[in-house]
Amino acid sequence: MKTLDANWLTSGLIDFEYKKYTLLAYLQAIKQEFDALRLYPFLSDLFFHYQNLQQIKENKRLMYEQFPQRMSHADFKKLEILYQKIVQDDETMLQLEEIVQYALPRFDKALSSGKEIYEAIESQVEIAPIGLTPIYYDEGYLFLDEFMITDTKIYQYQISVFESAHERFRGLNIRYLDTFRKGIGQTYENAKISLSKRFQNLPNPATFVIISKVACPLDESLLPIAKRILIRYLSTLKVA
């Protein structure tokens, strides 16, 4: 898929028509992905660019900081290098502001489209525990049933916690383990027992099944949505 450089606004030719063409080509490629129900990493990429433009709109200094720099002169005796900004003129800034004003509502529209698809898929995805959930559930197994697919995929999951100065973030790492086919004598519960015997470091593993009632791409949509659903579900257990 055609990608958009992180500094697309200020890199290359600073011209409204050129930037407009670059933007529209990117958004058309995004639309094609969304039409095929492929959400990731495209939805995240859209959000990244949208946030960048919002920050630039609110703070013009950020726009200057995106420009590449060139060496104006060097003091080799002190090994100091001084830089000057390539662009400092008002005409260029007016061009960039026009591009930002043009781009923001189009990014917003594309984001809304992606979120609608996300919510439509998510509404057709269910999660349930397999057996009793143990006290420790930051690590365990996730069964994933795709719509109209007879085999169930098994993943091992592990919660990771990241801390900043002000917040704690919870992430989810998953690793594909195996596939099994449900049938007589092979239930979710039996599969969980088999995992306990196979991986004895988790003798009583937290195990959940996510069932999709809509067809969508596994890697680009269902799996990222399933991970978010699992994190949200585990968070409700902690509250309880």
Contact 82, 73 (CB under 8 A): yes
Residues of the chain predicted below pLDDT 50: 71, 75-84, 86-87
103-131 pLDDT tens trace:
999 999 999 999 999 999 999 999 999 99
* pLDDT of the residue at 136: 92
Backbone angles phi, psi at 222, to 5 degrees: -65, -45
Burial class (CB in 10 A: 0-12, 13-18, 19+), 72: exposed
How far apart (Å, rounded) are the C-alpha atoms in residues 48 and 36?
21
- Which pTM value belongs to this model? 0.83
The residue ranges of every structural domain in the chain are 16-122, 125-239
Per-position DSSP letters for the chain, written without gaps between them: -----TTTTTSS---HHHHHHHHHHHHHHHHHHHHTT--TTHHHHHHHHHHHHHHHHH-HHHHHHHS-EEEEEEETTTTEEEEEES---HHHHHHHHHHHHHHHHHHHHHHHHHHHHHHHHHTTEEEEESSPPPS--SEEEEEEE-TT--EEEEEEEEEEEEE-SS-EEEEEEEEEEEEEE-BTTB-HHHHHHHHHHH-TTSSS-EEEEEEESS---IIIIIHHHHHHHHHHHHHHHHH-
pLDDT at 81: 42
- Residues in Cβ contact with 49 at an 8 Å cutoff, skipping those fewer than 6 apart: 4, 8, 107
Of 10, 18, 4, 8, give the one whose Cα is nearest residue 63: 10
Burial call 115-130: b when 16+ CB within 10 Å, e when fewer: eebbeebbeebeeeeb
